[in-house]
Amino acid sequence: MKPKQSGILVCLVVAAMMFQYCSKSDTAAVAPTTPTLTQTVVTTVASPLLPGVPFNYSNAVFPAHVASVLPAVDNTPATNPITDNGATLGRVLFYDKNLSKSNTVSCASCHNPELSFSDSAVKSVGFAGGRTDRHSMPILNVRFYRSGKMFWDERANTLEEQVLQPIQNTTEMGMTLAELQEKLPALSYYPALFEKAFGTKQVTADRISRALSQFVRSIVTCQSKYDQVKQGTATFTTDERDGETLFLTAGPNGGGTCAGCHAPPMFLTSNPTGPFALNDPLDLGINNQRRFKSSSLRNIANTAPYFHNGSIASLQNMLAGNIPAHSVGPQDRQKLLAFLLTLTDNVTIKEEKFSNPFK
Ligand code: HEC
Ligand code: HEC
């Protein structure tokens, strides 16, 4: 076998092992059942295709280097633990365009799974063609943000509070909660999904919020090359390893280390060591302090453009661009980039349990 071929084979074997590791508890899920043809109400989309036994969301298995940090940073409230039926309902809501006034926009329109639940547009397009004020955020590993505060400016105190806001946003989805509570029960598939998730068919804003939050919290990426290296099933190249050292120890442009603000293993921290502001006179961010939240840097290769205003087109531009705390000398750029690219997990984002059930 030629060296290149064997390299590919090793990658495939490792990928297969990883897949098994993170999803082994999914094997109980059966193949999707035939959809029930109950089109008594006019819906703009077909009924969702769901497995007879729900996927496993509640008991996901994380590798040790991820599982060990979760208890200290988990923002899951005691009142809303992830359940399989709750997250299943959340998945349907997340992909349902009926959550918008025009029936044209779902959460996934701006948080596209193929782009690691982010958007390639600098500003996303809402239900009536308007543009959002800021760049969309990748919805990954949200559960690991200790303070639980959401949005670039952290204006939502919890995820439960956050998920109802795009629905009511006059640019994004344009609904009122009263309209939503009337619209969803009339869609054939919802009463049974609410009953399974919450015990009765009643559709309330609180239940919508809880189900969406459960689904969003369940999206955790832990099958990247970085994770394989931490588990001893792969090794970094020299550049990747040097890049990790730089990430952990270097303080570019006099700021703190990269890791101080983007803490491994999820490359996320709600307690950054220092202020950071991209020069943006139009947006003052958290408490008007010219500070912003950063999402998880995992899958960063898939989520361009970057920063709250989407003004940084590529990671190369960021590293070379004179941005406070983010630009490094020419000798370090390739190494840091090589390391950042190891954080991409293309397996999780394609898992069926996170995919669009309306197709
Ligand atoms: C029209 C585009 C659009 C739609 C539709 C949309 N979002 Fe977003 N989302 C955004 C933008 C833009 C931001 C960042 C806004 C800000 O910080 O001011 C964001 C931020 C978020 C965040 C914060 C992430 C973090 O780490 O702080 C979450 C969670 C989220 N959206 C979930 C959802 C859910 C759930 C839905 C559906 C109910 C949804 N979004 C619908 C564009 C959209
Ligand atoms: C003082 C804290 C701090 C330091 C140090 C820091 N960052 Fe950041 N980083 C942030 C904040 C805050 C944002 C989001 C800022 C915004 O949108 O205006 C961000 C954004 C990013 C983004 C874009 C994220 C996205 O989803 O758009 C990348 C990539 C990134 N940082 C990588 C790095 C690297 C690599 C280093 C080290 C060279 C580093 N950061 C150092 C705080 C920091």
Contact in structure between 173 and 101 (CB atoms under 8 Å): yes
* Residue 276 confidence (pLDDT): 74
Residue 268 Cβ inside 6 Å of ligand 2? The answer reads no
Residue 336 Cβ inside 6 Å of ligand 2? The answer reads yes
Query: How big, in percent rounded to 5, are the helix, strand and coil portions of the chain?
Result: 45, 5, 55
Which atom belonging to ligand 1 lies closest to the Cα atom of 100?
5
Sequence-ordered list of residues with C-beta below 8 angstroms from that of 155, at least 6 positions apart, any chain: 149
* Residue 325 confidence (pLDDT): 87
In a domain, residue 327? The reply is yes
In a domain, residue 289? The reply is yes
Residue 302 Cβ inside 6 Å of ligand 2? The answer reads no
CA–CA gap between residue 179 and residue 328 (Å, rounded): 50
In a domain, residue 74? The reply is no
CA–CA gap between residue 213 and residue 160 (Å, rounded): 6
Per-residue pLDDT band for 202 (boundaries 50, 70, 90) equals very high
Ligand found nearest the CA of 175? 1
Mean predicted confidence (pLDDT) in 326-334: 93
> At 225, is the secondary structure helix, strand, or coil?
helix
Tracing tokens 């959460």 back to the chain, one arrives at 107
Residue 172 Cβ inside 6 Å of ligand 1? The answer reads yes
For residue 179, which phi and psi values (nearest 5 degrees)?
Answer: -60, -40
Least confident of 29-33, 80-84, 98-102: 29-33
Whether residue 334 has pLDDT greater than 70 = yes
In a domain, residue 299? The reply is yes
Q: What is the DSSP string of 337-352?
A: HHHHHTT--TTGGG-G
pLDDT tens digits, 264-296: 999 998 876 666 778 788 898 998 888 899 999
Whether residue 213 has pLDDT greater than 70 = yes
Least confident of 126-140, 145-159, 231-245, 246-260: 246-260
Contact in structure between 338 and 240 (CB atoms under 8 Å): yes
Q: What is the DSSP string of 180-203?
A: HHHHGGGSTTHHHHHHHHHSS---
Whether residue 8 has pLDDT greater than 90 = no
CA–CA gap between residue 72 and residue 211 (Å, rounded): 23
* Residue 190 confidence (pLDDT): 98
Least confident of 38-42, 189-193, 264-268, 280-284: 38-42
Tracing tokens 């912003």 back to the chain, one arrives at 292
Split into its structural domains, the chain has a count of 1
Average pLDDT, rounded, for the chain:
88
Whether residue 339 has pLDDT greater than 50 = yes
From 310, 338, 312, 339, select the one nearest 323 (Cα to Cα): 312
In a domain, residue 324? The reply is yes
Whether residue 327 has pLDDT greater than 50 = yes
In a domain, residue 298? The reply is yes
Whether residue 12 has pLDDT greater than 50 = no
In a domain, residue 320? The reply is yes
Whether residue 118 has pLDDT greater than 90 = yes
In a domain, residue 294? The reply is yes
Tracing tokens 């060990």 back to the chain, one arrives at 68
CATH code at position 283 = 1.10.760.10
The reported pTM is 0.90
- Residue 319 is part of which domain span? 225-341
Taking each helix axis as running N to C, give the angle between helix 84-95 and helix 205-218, from 0 to 180 degrees, rounded to the nearest 10.
100
- When comparing pLDDT for 321 and 25, which is higher? 321
Across 18-54, b (16+ Cβ under 10 Å) vs e yields bbebbbeebeebeeeeeeeeeeeeebebebbebbeeb
Measured CA to CA in angstroms, residue 230 lies from 12, 18, 234, 235 at distances of 18, 12, 8, 9
Residue 276 alpha carbon to ligand 2 centre in Å? 8
